[in-house]
Amino acid sequence: MSTYAVTGSASGMGAASAARLRAAGHQVIGVDLRDADVVADLGTAEGRAHAVREIIRLADGRLDGVAAVAGVGPQLRDAGAVVSINYHGPVALLGGLRPALAASGAGRAVVISSNSSTTVPMIDEELVRLLLAGDEEAARARARAATAALPEEIAANSPSISAYASSKFALSRWVRATAVTPAWARASVTLNAIAPGAVVTPLMTGSTMKEEDLDADRFPTPMPLGIFGRPEDIAFWVEQFLRPEARFTTGSVLFVDGGTDAAMRPRAQPTAMTR
């Protein structure tokens, strides 16, 4: 039996991931704002520190894997909170848990990014720079300023769309850069990201949209398979990245989006190295 920590375990993709791992016979330490083994707000430095301490305590200092699934969507009106939760939350949590992952001798970590990082043309490069530099307060201020400048028709439904896409973009960049550093790679700790597309969760539907009203053929972005994802579709890949057999995979960003990214950017990957 392995011991895993899963953030966002109370609902959506986090709940599906925790359930799948438990069904396989593993111990799962759930982390969320409620209904979890560790109740913590990953949008704050204090909450992250508390989560790290409690996870390490419950795991007796040794973790086989971490799935950083918790996140919020572009509907949240506080863009500052979006970048704190979506970027600084997983980055600080995984940084704090890295020694416990290394202690297992074959730690596995996976984070949830988003295909919005490549399919939404509102990436704020300065915000990305601030996030990767670890300047949380400046990043929060930048995100809020960008939201205030949005056209009204966008702000009405997705007030934090730029902060959301930019935070997920930065998270994917962090994964690729961090996974290959000696502190992670030479400690046999793998680090990967999953970039979901349109997955039917409370985060996607919000408080007003009903699942039966969703139509893949009328969705704003291409849906080549003609279906929406389910939390279980993401949980499947979470489990694969956390398996001991995933020893030779690190620094990867896997799109699980029904083909949306491929349809919108068919020539984006692979790209040849230039001198």
Q: What is the DSSP string of the chain?
A: --EEEEETTTSHHHHHHHHHHHHTT-EEEEEESSSSSEE--TTSHHHHHHHHHHHHHHTTT--SEEEE-----TT-S-HHHHHIIIIIHHHHHHHHHHHHHHHTSS-EEEEE--THHHH-S---HHHHHHHHHT-HHHHHHHHHHHHHTS-HHHHTT-TTHHHHHHHHHHHHHHHHHHHTSHHHHTTT-EEEEEEE-SB-SHHHHTTT--GGG--GGGSSS--TTSS-B-HHHHHHHHHHHHSTT-TT--S-EEEESTTHHHHH-TTSSS-----
Whole-angstrom distance, CA of residue 251 vs CA of residue 117: 16
- Output the CA torsion sign for 90, 109, 69, 157: positive
Residue of 14, 51, 117, 164 marked catalytic: 164
Whole-angstrom distance, CA of residue 41 vs CA of residue 107: 24
Q: Give which of 23, 25, 36 is closest to 3, Cα–Cα.
A: 25
Active site residue 4: no
Catalytic residues: 164
